[in-house]
Amino acid sequence: MSTKDEPQDKFHFVTIIFLILGLGTLLPWNFFITAIPYFQSRLCLDTERPNGNSSENSDLSINNGTAQCKDEFNFNNWMTLLAQLPLLLCTLLNSFIYQRISERVRIAGSMLAILSLFIFTAVLVKVLMSAQRFFDLTMATIWFINAFCAILQGSLFGLLTLFPQHYSSMFLSGQGMAGTFAALAMLLSMSSGADPGTTALGYFVTPCVGTFISISCYFLLYRVDFAQYYLSKSNTNISKNYELETKTELLHQGEENGDPAEQKKAVLLLKEAETGGVGEEKQSVSVCVVLRKIWVMALTIVITFGVTLSVFPAITAKVITNVKSEGWSKFFNPVCCFLIFNIMDWIGRSITSKTLWPGPDCKYLPLIAASRLIFVPLFMLCNIPDRTYLSTYFHNDAWFIIFMIFFSVSNGYFVSLPMCLAPKKVLPHESETTGALMTFFLALGLSVGAGLSFGFKVLL
């Protein structure tokens, strides 16, 4: 869209800001799941020596500790569950408080709280304690970090509804980058040659820096003319002009596609904007009405995350290499499980900036997303030690890598697609409610997957 008085996004500055904000929202979760070998190695060392002698705990290493001791704490499963439950609860809470607490307080306050908790996690690396106490403190930290992440993410999705769709795509792409960033930080820390304690400390200091940069970018957003153009809620004429141009473009697209249904819908929306656009901000929004419009997108994102979190990382992080090489064994899990997943997930999210197939009116999107259930048995039949019921069928590392590539690309695409399509199904004054609802169902899918991971682990 373009108007005569609209400022330009010079040097794509606002685009970069939203990319960094997307990166910042998922940094906490990705840094914790990528550091699973560190947490397990620390718990493993102290589990083997219950007296908790300080010299025994000082040898903290970030390596593939899953093959060296039993996961007596079920760390992967509890971490996933205790990360997603507060995400679900606080996302629901955010749907009610977003009208009572200012957006700046919610976003800036959440970021500062996350920064404080990450500093605490970094300090904890050098503090010696029993495995049980370390486990309890880590789980509490994960709970509170994800609670603030839920409020942050929901608030930012609401903020994004004020901007063109391009910025939502960049925000989601930034979220996809967060995992890649965390995986690369893990690999660099492992390759640094520093002592294990310093390596772990450096790893957890990195997200502290990243979160601080995100906070700075958020405050800079309000000092950019282009952003102020969209953030100003009092300028109803700008809002009306934007809606008119958007719906006129929709009408032209309907004419080009020759679709009578699209043309009729566009004409109705255009008439609504011409006659009642100025008063739209005062219209009440019914959650039930919005939900009836976006239920397909909501169900799709629940299924997508439900499938993904049921095996990642609880099952996939347990897969080991069949290559007899100490170097490859050390890097297999960070590279093949986390780095590949996050790079391909990022690519999958980025595809939606080029295409939104199969479109907002497709009723079969949840079924297409449900087809990813095939990955559950495939990963469970990979090279996982200490099995009880199932046997290993896919011994070669190549099978695991192939499964991970398709699994992660499809996850990224079917996460980003409904988040981009949902706003197209509602009226402009319903956009903020749509963002809050979609964030809630996103969290619901994560919680469903986390719960299922316990059952799938028992079946191994």
Q: Any idea what the CATH number is for the domain that residue 68 is in? A: 1.20.1250.20
Examine residue 251 and state whether it is found in any structural domain, yes or no.
Answer: yes
Token couple for 193: 């040659």
Look up residue 440 and give its amino acid: F
Token couple for 273: 């904007």
Residues 359 and 327 in one domain: yes
Residues 64 and 88 in one domain: yes
Examine residue 154 and state whether it is found in any structural domain, yes or no.
Answer: yes
Query: pLDDT of the chain along its 460 residues, tens only?
Result: 455 567 788 888 999 999 999 988 888 878 887 787 788 778 875 444 444 443 344 333 444 444 445 667 778 788 878 887 887 788 777 666 666 778 888 899 999 999 999 899 999 988 888 888 999 999 999 999 988 888 888 788 778 878 887 888 788 788 878 888 888 888 887 787 767 677 788 888 888 998 999 999 999 998 988 888 888 753 444 444 444 444 444 445 444 445 544 454 455 454 454 444 444 444 677 888 999 999 999 999 999 999 999 999 889 989 999 998 888 888 898 899 989 998 998 899 888 878 888 888 888 999 999 999 999 999 999 999 888 888 999 999 999 999 999 999 999 999 989 988 888 888 877 877 787 788 788 888 988 998 899 899 889 8
Residues 307 and 408 in one domain: yes
Q: How many domains does the chain have?
A: 2
pTM of the model: 0.72
The backbone torsions φ and ψ at residue 3, rounded to the nearest 5 degrees and listed phi first, read -130, 165
Residues 257 and 405 in one domain: no
Closest CA to 454 of 166, 27, 80, 146: 80
Asked if residue 83 lies in contact with residue 305, where contact means CB atoms within 8 angstroms, the answer is: no
Asked if residue 430 lies in contact with residue 294, where contact means CB atoms within 8 angstroms, the answer is: no
pLDDT for residue 3: 53
Residues 50 and 79 in one domain: yes
Residues 138 and 251 in one domain: no
Name the residue range of residue 323's domain: 10-232+284-459
Question: What residues have CB less than 8 Å from 368, skipping those under 6 apart?
Answer: 358, 414
Residues 227 and 120 in one domain: yes
Q: How far apart, in whole angstroms, are the C-alpha atoms of residue 320 and residue 329? A: 7
Examine residue 45 and state whether it is found in any structural domain, yes or no.
Answer: yes
Look up residue 273 and give its amino acid: A
Examine residue 2 and state whether it is found in any structural domain, yes or no.
Answer: no
Token couple for 246: 């958007």
Q: How far apart, in whole angstroms, are the C-alpha atoms of residue 160 and residue 413? A: 19
Bridge partners (DSSP) listed for residue 382:
394
Evaluated on CA atoms 442, 303, 35, 455, the torsion sign reads positive
Residues 86 and 177 in one domain: yes
The runs of H, that is alpha helices, within 277-396 are 287-311, 326-332, 340-351, 365-370, 375-380
First and final C-alpha spacing in the chain = 53
The count of residues in the chain is 460
Residue 197: left (phi > 0), alpha (psi -120 to 50), or beta?
alpha
pLDDT for residue 47: 43
For 130-188, list the strands marked E by DSSP.
none
Examine residue 46 and state whether it is found in any structural domain, yes or no.
Answer: yes
| 16 C-beta neighbours (distance < 10 Å), count | 14
Asked if residue 297 lies in contact with residue 285, where contact means CB atoms within 8 angstroms, the answer is: no
Token couple for 429: 């004054």
Residues 266 and 299 in one domain: no
pLDDT for residue 7: 77
Examine residue 4 and state whether it is found in any structural domain, yes or no.
Answer: no
Residues 241 and 310 in one domain: no
Question: What residues have CB less than 8 Å from 148, skipping those under 6 apart?
Answer: 90, 110, 111, 113, 114, 117
Token couple for 155: 């608030």
Residues 161 and 263 in one domain: no
pLDDT for residue 54: 38
Residues 131 and 244 in one domain: no
pLDDT for residue 67: 42
Examine residue 5 and state whether it is found in any structural domain, yes or no.
Answer: no
